[in-house]
Chains A and B, each alone.
Chain A
């Protein structure tokens, strides 16, 4: 079974870094597919069209932010089991509660710990 990981961030460098952090895991397990979205609308479309198992979702994005994406995903029956990890800047402790309220499963601060990103994927995808 193919495992699908979606990374959502409006900053291209974060997408590149997250992809790089997960690439070694992808090399270990060929059944992992990593896809990216650069805004909330695109993320929602991708989640609806091909449901991922795990989403790394940035909170701060223009238009549809990460919290709105999370609320929408978690409120729909078809997608509510998608595991969502919210990403936000270090020290923004208020975001932690907002992420929890939006239904996020986990919270990670940026700059993220690459090892933690991989550990989460291993655990969620049961690898």
Chain B
């Protein structure tokens, strides 16, 4: 890759090439710059040194990326190119870092827009986890919420799922430590950590941060990699940002879930009351019907006849 930086120094728009031109014109020294494959990057075939000409390396972080050969000034030119290529490499690194930050800003912006439109707890948790794994390069993770009774509830999981053992001892291990201390952690060698417990499974390195609402821990988000890798402070900082964005959305979703649950309960109670009322109403109606029938003239006549017949039978069978 560093060889590319050497080539870039000699691109058309490079100021370095024109400075070098100017310098060589003034000194009158023939100079040739070659890459490691001996391709000529600067100079002409006329300037190509014979095997006896001294060759001076262009070094970037101790690695040779090309050679300068020619006249007396070739050593100085090699040093100058070493400086320019190093600067080019540093510039590229900084640009990449800034572009990564731009990427993160856009992803966070998009995530907050998406979170604002979702009221389903599982969806909110999954969106957060997906973005975290994408932004911070993780192969697995989970969003775990702690209910009022302190019991954990896994809302979303990706890759390796946190096993059920965690549910019985939520305050143990690395996750437990984050829940207790309300502080995010980077663990780059999980299996050597004294707090290692099985719930982490075969994660090699992990990031775990609390979901904090008004200084109260409502859960954690944990992501990790099964392959060796090193998380840095910037990764944890990014996960903290994601967690702080997700927390209000999770709270809203929980509130919505509770409201739905309460509405459902109210509806069930109401249905039960309506059913009971209906039964009572039916009973009243039946009583009214009976009263209506027994109070009718026809019924009274029948009743009289029945009484007469009963008295006749009684007389015959004393």
**A-side interface residues toward B, CB under 8 Å?**
13, 16-17, 20-21, 90, 111-116
Check A20 against B103 for contact (C-beta < 8 Å).
Answer: no
- Chain A residue nearest to B96 (CB atoms) is A20
Tally the A-B contacts, defined by beta carbons under 8 Å: 28
Where the two chains meet, the residues of B that have a C-beta atom closer than 8 Å to any C-beta of A are: 91-92, 95-96, 98-99, 101-103, 105-107, 109
Give the residue name and chain of the A residue nearest to B100 (CB).
A114
Contact B106 A116 (CB under 8 A): yes
Whether A114 and B109, one on each chain, are in contact in the complex, defined by CB atoms closer than 8 angstroms, is no
Contacting A20 at CB < 8 Å: which of B95, B101, B106, B107? Answer: B95
Residues in A whose Cβ lies below 8 Å from that of B107 = 113
Report the minimum CB–CB distance from A85 to chain B (whole Å): 15
A111 contact from B91, B92, B95, B105, Cβ within 8 A: B105
Which B residues are in CB contact (< 8 Å) with A17?
95, 98-99, 102
Known contacts A16-B95, A113-B102, A114-B103; 11 further A-B pairs (Cβ under 8 A): A17-B95, A20-B95, A20-B96, A20-B99, A21-B99, A111-B102, A111-B106, A112-B102, A112-B106, A113-B106, A114-B102
Nearest CB of B to A9, in Å = 14
CA distance A20 to B89 in the complex (A): 12
Give every chain B residue within 8 A of A114 (Cβ-Cβ).
Answer: 99, 102-103
For B106, what are the chain A residues with a Cβ–Cβ distance below 8 Å?
111-113, 116
Closest 3 CB pairs of A and B: A113-B106, A20-B95, A111-B102
Which residue of the partner chain B has the closest CB to A114?
B99
Instruction: Give Cα A107 to B269, complex, Å.
Output: 54
Q: Which residue of A lies closest to B99 (CB)?
A: A114
Pair B109/A115 contact, Cβ less than 8 Å:
no
